[in-house]
Structure 1
């Protein structure tokens, strides 16, 4: 068992590029610390018309959207168009987790009684209407274990792709358990008489891995993965990568522009982008500041926006969760639809809220972890030389907006399965119209409301 908490935001120098003061705007994956570093030789390029790519190494050809990711000298890159250095981003751990990888986990009986999240949304009744057949979900994350017994029937390994270039490939949890946990929430198998039930258990999963074993990812790899998801006709792409802040001026304008272009194009191709809102109790409606410390010790601060969850066409998801589920005879202190203590919020910044898990940080009840979200996990095992030896497959609990987003991604798959003619905007509209803000709660935590897959299907 391990209990992992997010780290506090720290300050970095100008070369490392980004820090936050005032309102914290989020973290990669499940929130917490973000480390963003400019690459010295890798660039995202907004290509000039008819630009050739001579003299550079093309990492990702994104000419479909007028972009390229290249390696080379800045002199050669300058000839191609406007550009900015790629950014390396570091993962931080989920807000709360309780990972059980022992052999004591039952594999004889389903774990649905422990899934308060699916119970709160009447999933058995939902599955009487639709289970996600024919729908395709891209998981842009740390890697999905295609060999996990709850996912083996779902992952399309032929379409799965590694965007990191680290040599490990796709279809495995090479960047950590996070992507496998996310995938199970969206589409864990409900026919194998073990484990958990996913939102759309008959949907197809595509592993788009953008995190490596050392937890580094890049902005460019994420752009490439979103583009790829649209090119292979994914109905939805889940990006449980939280939020990271960029200044609205300077390089921030460039990053925002190219991200918005990619996201708008993907949406136009029918791929809805579901993105976690971040876990720093931040009001995204009133963005904070990005601050950089100069070599002389002075500090400059800029107005900031959090990306990708505030990018164009993003369906940003906040997290909810109970307090007291399965604790005993005392009953639930907070319902499943109550806002989680860590979730980011903002009336016009958040589109929907969905179960992501909550926690009472002061309780001594030994069943505290049951308020987290139970799903599939697979922890990679490497030798001292970095050779992948396999993974430890099991089920475990975690909490974060990273766990809320795939609930929505799975609901998208259900709607597309029931009516494949729906485009991305129509699906988003149905999800919003079927949702509602619970009585007595602040709309800022919900956007259009709490996810209601049953009600959404009734509108199709």
Structure 2
């Protein structure tokens, strides 16, 4: 590990983790009413309450009992679905929104160190992502945000909570991710990497940040079915044992992800925020970023951006303190934000990633809308959509590329920064201009 100045790389025990979440601290709960089912080839699951059929793969999500599944002739194998509760990282909870700062009425591009370092402005001279589609599998991308344009016709809610799609019902996270990909080039607010892509919301989180592995799998299959060129998954489960049910979850995920890739959908997935060496972590796996065909993204970030000082303590391409890593587990590294946990400088949050925010509003437990603003957050959750946006640009410039060819272009263009460990970068640090 190279010397990266004042930052301390933290090691977080994952012994109690095991769900699907958009943050770093989760608790998992096995559902007793829903199951992931592997079917025996063609033929329906007549007599079972099917939640998600997932056409194109031999898997489904169903409600029912174990006895029903054991007796059914078309069921080959099954395991309980998993539901989790999310706790956001502390550094994100402390970060302000723009309304709490002095830049409320200003153009916010000068605060987007990530877009500046990637030179998105120059990339946009070639393409802004026209004629591409990016699906965001997350807490919901709010179509009401003035800096976003979401395709509401094909957006879907996979949770079954009856709160609809293209909204922030599941929390702010998906809107922040969506803005990193596709915030509009409209002269105000922030700019997305692929501002002209067709942005689709696939909401898999309900209020209180509850999510289901089965809903996520169904959203991946759906994204491929609507010809999304990229699907972004800023979520993850770590550690999951490779044994028992974990083996079944891995098999299901690999089948779904291979199907999506074959259909032309590149899966950009957050590598996780556990400071874990995924290459040497024993008989466990990080899902879905270690699944088949995943473009697994680690996070980088500066220390000292816009602190009122002339130089940075660490450059934008340096590994973030929280990012997971591993030579064969990471595909690319990209800007995700960093933080000096010991600094007293009030401008610490400028090292996080600025994007669109939609804070959900509830009245008597009913979702009624959202408050729209801009705010800072850090995580591999922010790094993955920077790669997803870049992939949309490459696809826009090369319409005949397959998902593998798009990923290959991004990997060939990337380099590991001098004096840094390859384990944090895979093929290297995202380079959009060379990829184009």
TM-score normalised by the chain length of structure 1: 0.88
Look up the match of 1:82: 77
Please list every run of 5 or more consecutive structure 1 residues that lacks an aligned counterpart in the other structure: 1-6, 11-18, 289-302
For residues 342-373 of structure 1, give each alpha carbon's deviation from its aligned partner in whole angstroms, at most 9, with x where no partner exists: 11000110000000000111111111110000
Tell me which residue corresponds to 1:29. Answer: 22
Structure-1 residue corresponding to 2:325: 345
- Which one of 305, 309, 328 corresponds to residue 329 of structure 1? 309
Distance between the aligned counterparts of 1:244 and 1:399, measured in 2?
A: 18
Shift of 1:419: 1.2
Q: Is the 8 A contact 2:172 2:357 kept in 1?
A: yes
2:382 counterpart of 1:406: no
Deviations 1:268-308 (Å, cap 9, x if unpaired)? 000000000011110001124xxxxxxxxxxxxxx211110
Counterpart selection for 1:360 from 323, 340, 344: 340
2:60 matched to 1:68? yes
Point out the more displaced range, 351-360 or 82-91.
82-91
| In 1: Cα distance, 2:192 partner to 2:173 partner | 16
Q: Are the counterparts in 2 of residues 105 and 395 from structure 1 also a CA contact under 8 Å?
A: no
Question: What's the RMSD between the two structures over aligned residues?
Answer: 1.9
> Which of 246, 256, 260 in structure 2 is aligned with 1:262?
256
Name 1:456's counterpart in structure 2.
435
Q: Check the 8 A contact 2:112/2:353 in 1, yes or no.
A: yes
Report the alpha carbon displacement of residue 25 of structure 1 after superposing the two structures with TM. 8.5
Q: Give the alignment partner of residue 31 of structure 2, picking from 23, 26, 39.
A: 39
Equivalent residue in structure 1 for 2:403, among 409, 424, 428? 424
2:300 matched residue in structure 1: 320
Is 2:195 the partner of 1:215?
Answer: no
- Within the alignment, does 1:99 sit opposite 2:92 as a pair? no
Structure 1 residue 155: Cα displacement:
0.8
Q: Are the counterparts in 2 of residues 95 and 400 from structure 1 also a CA contact under 8 Å? A: no
| Structure 2 residue 184 is the aligned partner of structure 1 residue 189 | yes
**Partner Cα separation in structure 2 for residue 149 and residue 104 of structure 1:** 19
Give the 3 Å change call, closer, same or farther, for CA 367–242 of structure 1 in structure 2.
same
Structure-to-structure mapping, 1:212-251, within 5 angstroms: 212-251=206-245
Of 369, 375, 383, the match for 2:355: 375
1:104, CA displacement in angstroms? 6.6
Paired residue for 1:113, among 105, 110, 113? 110
Residue 3 of structure 1 is matched in structure 2 by none
Aligned mates of 1:220, 1:8 — CA distance in 2: 30
- Name the structure 1 match of 2:413: 434
Taking the aligned partners of 2:77 and 2:308, their CA distance within structure 1 comes to: 60
1:62: how far off? 1.4
Counterpart among 112, 122, 128 of residue 125 in structure 1: 122
2:291 to 311, 330, 349: 311
Which whole-Å CA distance do the structure 1 matches of 2:351 and 2:19 have between them? 22
Question: 2:41 — aligned with what?
Answer: 49
Deviation string for 1:170-216 (max 9, x for gaps)? 010001000000000011001x2210011001111100000000211
Q: Which runs of 5+ in 2 are unaligned?
A: 1-9
Residues 261-280 of structure 1 aligned to structure 2 (within 5 Å): 261-280=255-274
8 A contact 2:113–2:305 mirrored in 1: yes
Q: Distance in 2 between matches of 1:412 and 1:50?
A: 34
Q: 2 CA distance for matches of 1:375 and 1:57?
A: 40
> In structure 2, the residue corresponding to 1:129 is in which secondary structure?
coil
Report SS of the residue matched to 1:249: coil
Q: What secondary structure, in the 3-state scheme, does the structure 2 residue paired with 1:261 have?
A: helix
The total of aligned residue pairs comes to 422
1:226–1:266 CA contact under 8 A, matched in 2: yes
- Tell me the equivalent position of 1:176: 171
In the aligned structure 2, how far is the partner of 1:428 from the partner of 1:26? 27
CA distance in 2, matches of 1:77, 1:415: 44
Q: Give the CA deviation at 1:91.
A: 2.1
Q: Say if 1:9 and 1:34, in contact at 8 Å, map to a contact too.
A: no
Does the Cα contact within 8 Å between 2:21 and 2:211 map onto a contact in 1? no
Q: Secondary structure at the match of 1:87?
A: strand
- Deviation of 1:47 after TM superposition, in Å, equals 0.4
Moved over 4 A (4+): 7-10, 24-27, 103-108
Distance in 1 (alpha carbons) for counterparts of 2:329 and 2:108: 34
Deviation at 1:77, TM superposition (A): 1.5
